Structure formats: C-alpha cells, structure tokens
Amino acid sequence: MLRARKLRQIMKHAQPPTETRTVFLVLTFDVESEYGSHRVGGNGVAASQFLGNIQNVSENMTIFVQGSLVQQNSEILRSLERQGIEIGLHGYRHELWGPAQWYLADRPLTLQEKKSLLEAGMEAFRAAGLRSPAIFRSPNLVADTSTLQLLAEKGFRVDSSLPSHRGLLPVPVFFGGPEGLIRIPVTVDPTPSLSRKGLLPYYRYLVFDLKNLKEMKTGELLQHVSRIVVLQETLGFLPHLVILCHSWEFLNQSAEEWDYCCPANFEFLRNLDSILSENFSVRHVSMSTLAEQFKGNKTDAVSSCSVLE
C-alpha cells in the first residue's frame, strides 16, 4: 500500500509529455515449444515455422531461444544472426529457474541442474555456429538469486526474467555491480486494475505481451504508454517499451484459450509499430543496445528509484 501511494504521488506531480518523446522499442520473442512447455504436449514445429517468417517483422529485434531447439534450427538462426537479429537463451527445456509457483506443476531446478542446463544451452549455441549468448530470459519469468549469479559468472550481461505480472516498476534493475547483470523487464503498467475470476476479485497489472496488446483499443494503448513514459522519465530512465511475444502465437491454435494466435499477428505487430510511430519518435533497438543506453545514467536512475523503496 505504501508503494502504491508513492507511485500515485509521483504520477500526480509528473508532467505529461508536451512534445513528441523518443521511445526505445524492443520487440522480443520467446522461441519455444508450443504453449511454452513439453508438459502440455508442445513440440518445436511452431518454433521452426516462426523462425522462417520472422525476418520482415522489424529491425533490431531480440529473440530468446529454448536451448533444446537450437541445433535443429541452426541454419536459420545463423541466417538471422547475420541479419543483425540478437539471439539470447530461454532456458533449455522451458524448466523452472526459480522457486515453485502455485500456477505451475514444474519442479524447481537444483543448483547443479541449473549449471548443467546453462552449460548445455551455451554449448548448443557454440555447436550451431552462433555467438555465445549474452542475454537470458527465464521461462515463465521466474529466476532466483542463484540463477542470476550463474548468469553473471558465465558472462551474461542482460537478463529479462523479472516478474512483470506482479506489477513491478517498468525500469531496469542492476544486479552485481557495474560489471554484473542489467535486468530489463517486459514492460508493465504498475498501476493495478480490479478484475474478477468467477466471483473472486483480484488485482492485475497490464503486461505488454501480445495477448494483452491485441485486446487493447488504440486510445487505451496510448494512455498506458504515456503513463509509462512519464514514470520512466521521472525515475531517471530513458523511455522504453519491451514487448513480449511467443513463437507459437503466430500459428493458428485449436484450443479456445489460444484463439488470438494466428499468422495475422505479424501484421498486427506492424500496425502496432505504426500507431506508436505516429505518436512517439520510435527507435527500434535490441535488448543489448537498450542495456547500453542505461549504463550512462545508472547512478541518477537508481537514486530516483529509491523513493519507492
């Protein structure tokens, strides 16, 4: 409650944008088995089809690839890398890199299992002729301190595993000092809205993933983006958006739960980019490039964020 009051206070006194703002836009894609896990019968077919169609979506995008899918897609991944698309690691078989979650049946990995799977993923990149991965996003956005320490030890520079769905601030977090990880979350509006599941009310936060974006009207989208831009600037960070998509969201799915998934989502992203570009000065960047932008204003930004702690 204290954090929420401080957040409202910042938003109340922050000046809304009066001119066109430069906004750094990172399109990110988790390339994984269908629905994100082998436990629900997913396979790598969607990943392969997606990779074959991604070239013309946007420039400077970032993809996070499930380690077990790298070798079978090595040729297209090398081609994408030559085109300038950044490739990071997305676990190995979509396992749990942090504590148990009530909504997941997955068992948390032991420290030794984490070491083995991280090394296996890095070896898959080497065997496929790809650059060693320097960015990481954990499956289900679950990662604990031991995972972050391992990433830093293995030379990773950027992590995007922060749990945006819990309503955290849409700004980076620095782990391990100047030479450690820069943790950049998927964008979320940290102001909660009241929703219901059946008769039970609960608060939810609007995460900038493909499903939520497709459900928003243009005015609603621009309102959320403007709020986030104001907050980021108030906290000392460059305005930025990190959008999350999944490879299987670009194929038709039979389950009603996934009825928003279809090949037309490629066109949806292009239209989304047009809407944002009409209202902001959009700069398309990769996740690593965005991280570099934050290094220069780290001290001031961290100081500004302390007001919410």
CATH of the domain at 152: 3.20.20.370
Q: Tokens for 178?
A: 């100047």
Name the burial class of residue 129, with classes exposed (0-12), middle (13-18) and buried (19+) by CB atoms within 10 angstroms of its CB.
exposed
| 306 pLDDT above the threshold of 70 | no
Looking at residue 195, its pLDDT comes to: 72
Instruction: Give the pLDDT band (50/70/90) at residue 14.
Output: low
Give the model confidence (pLDDT) of 202-245 as tens digits: 678 999 999 999 999 999 999 999 999 999 999 999 999 999 99
- End-to-end Cα, the chain, rounded Å: 12
Return the exposure string of 130-148: e unless at least 16 CB atoms fall within 10 Å of the residue's CB, then b. beebbbbbbbbbbbbeebb
CA distance 234 to 231: 5
pLDDT band at 55 (very low <50, low <70, confident <90, very high): confident
Q: What is the pLDDT of residue 169?
A: 95
- pLDDT tens, 257-290? 788 999 999 999 999 999 999 999 999 999 999 9
Structure token pair of residue 15:
């000046």
pTM here is 0.91
Q: Return the closest-CA partner of residue 157 out of 88, 240, 63.
A: 88
12 has pLDDT over 70? no
Closest CA to 25 of 300, 220, 244, 173: 244
Q: Is the pLDDT of residue 250 over 80?
A: yes
Token pair of 62 as six digits: 């970032």
Q: Is 176 exposed, middle or buried (0-12, 13-18, 19+ CB in 10 A)?
A: middle
Please give the pLDDT value at position 8. 65
pLDDT of residue 34: 72
pLDDT at 2: 46
**How far apart, in whole angstroms, are the C-alpha atoms of residue 71 and residue 84?**
19
- Measured from the Cβ of residue 5, the count of other Cβ atoms closer than 10 Å reads 9
- Residue range of the domain that includes 142: 2-13+22-308
Question: Which pair of structure tokens corresponds to residue 105?
Answer: 């049946």
Strand partners, 64: 30, 88
Mean pLDDT rounded to a whole number for the chain: 87
Q: What percent of the chain has pLDDT over 70?
A: 84
Number of domains comprising the chain: 1
